[in-house]
Structure 1
Amino acid sequence: MSDTTEQNEAPLEEGEVQISILGQYIKDLSFENPTPAQTIQKLATEKPSMNINVNLNAAQIGEDVYEVDLKITATAVSNDETAFVAELLYSGLFGIKGLPEDQLQPFLMIEAPRQIFPFARRILSDVTRDGGFPPLMLEPIDFAGLYQQQMQQAAAQQGEAPAEDDIVVN
């Protein structure tokens, strides 16, 4: 028997970072179409107003393994009546080794959701189309801007300059 380590388990050189997407999946998907016949007829002449909410959560679930949840809720309203509500909780599983601790939070809240967003976008587009509506095509999301905004809000609540510890990964 030799003392060699398999290639994928080779120790990292100092300062070397290894990041991989281990998987991505739908955790929860909901589409509500309360009055399809009436709504579809109305939408032929009226454009509904859209309300899009995006939430992120990240958690360490194992040694060097993190799960990032991207929750998107889209609500279409026409004349104070709900046309549809689409809710998707889409997750990515990331293997992260060698990333400095001060860079972990920004990676999990900016780069990780940026990697899984196109897949969540496609799912929402398909489900709204399959629900009888035009496909919902979400614009790209500026996760870096959202992260900075969240850091500024946390700092304002504490009355001090933002620190990496202001937002905690669950």
Structure 2
Amino acid sequence: MKHVKKVTAVLLLAICSAFFFSCNKDNDSEPEPKPLTPAEILASTPWETTNAKNNKGENVALSDANVANFVGFAYFRADGTFTMFNLDDSPKMQGEWSVSADGKTRTIIAKNDAGVVLFTRVVDITVLTKQEFTYRIYPNASDKTVYFDIIHTPTTHPAPKK
């Protein structure tokens, strides 16, 4: 009888332990947020050009003729449209945008107010995080040894009215 009591106590302890340790602590916490796609990252904030670097890694003044046309504020909306303004808030361009699924390229299709396509530009993305968006431009498309990286960081600057 003593042996049966010990076996019963051990079994009861094992069953209670199983229930206690099988409880999932994750039920009380928030689920992990889904990682953002490259397009969602780009649309998550307005961007301001804050720096440019050449192929040697040297800083390039934002007023330099090689990069000046790429400087300003960019507002990429989740609906695939964008507006860009110069740093003095004057209008720069508007149109449609997309980012490749792998986050390696960004395409903009600039349009005039009537919706007529002015140009299409595809650039290589070198950094795309919530803290930085950098793309590469080549002054001469056939020479990939000379390039400029256009660096943007998030801004709270409101989109100017046109």
TM-score per shorter chain, which class?
A: under 0.3
TM-score normalized with structure 1 length? 0.26
Whichever of the two has the greater Rg, that structure is 2
TM-score normalized with structure 2 length? 0.27
Question: In proportion to residue count, which structure has more helix?
Answer: 1
